Amino acid sequence: MDDRLLFLMSKAAHTLKNYLKKEFSSGGINISPAQMGILFALKQKNGLPMNLLSKIISIDNAAITRHVDILEREGMVIREADEKDRRKYIICITAKGIAEADKCRRIARRVNDTIKEGFRDDEVEVFKKVLNSFFNKFG
């Protein structure tokens, strides 16, 4: 068995990202997994500053700006000036963004179920424990 953990984790992440993009495309969704994360975060708590969105979905500020720009052009989010600090923007999800997030959620649930296929519940729990341990160690 291959013990190159860095290679295997990188390959798994890349494979999963490509699979998710393919599933999104076949489901008529034209946003990236990172943009999906933004919509999910805003649907859970609307009106977040960009720096907090960046932390929630674990991408840098430049990337969050690019993703928000795209979502704004698509009419899925709007940018509002922060009343307390005019240099900051608050990002809010629109009705179109909510509808897109709901479509994404259905596909994400299906992909999540596919990931678990062929594994016992206790194996899935160990896998989640390993992933969370990894995030705590390196995150």
**Number of structural domains the chain divides into:** 1
Q: In 3-state terms, the chain is what percent helix, strand and coil (to 5)?
A: 70, 10, 25
pTM across the whole model = 0.85
Instruction: Please write the tens of the pLDDT for every residue from 77-101.
Output: 999 998 888 888 999 999 999 999 9
What pLDDT shows up at residue 87? 85
For residue 1, pLDDT beyond 80: no
CA dihedral 134, 135, 136, 139 (to 10 degrees): 130
Write the DSSP symbol of residue 84.
S
For residue 139, pLDDT beyond 90: no
Range of the domain at 24: 5-138
pLDDT range class, residue 16, cuts 50, 70, 90: very high
Write a three-state SS string for 10-73: HHHHHHHHHHHHHHHHHCCCCCCHHHHHHHHHHHHCCCEEHHHHHHHHCCCHHHHHHHHHHHHH
Instruction: Please write the tens of the pLDDT for every residue from 30-65.
Output: 899 899 999 999 999 999 999 999 999 999 999 999
CATH number at residue 104: 1.10.10.10
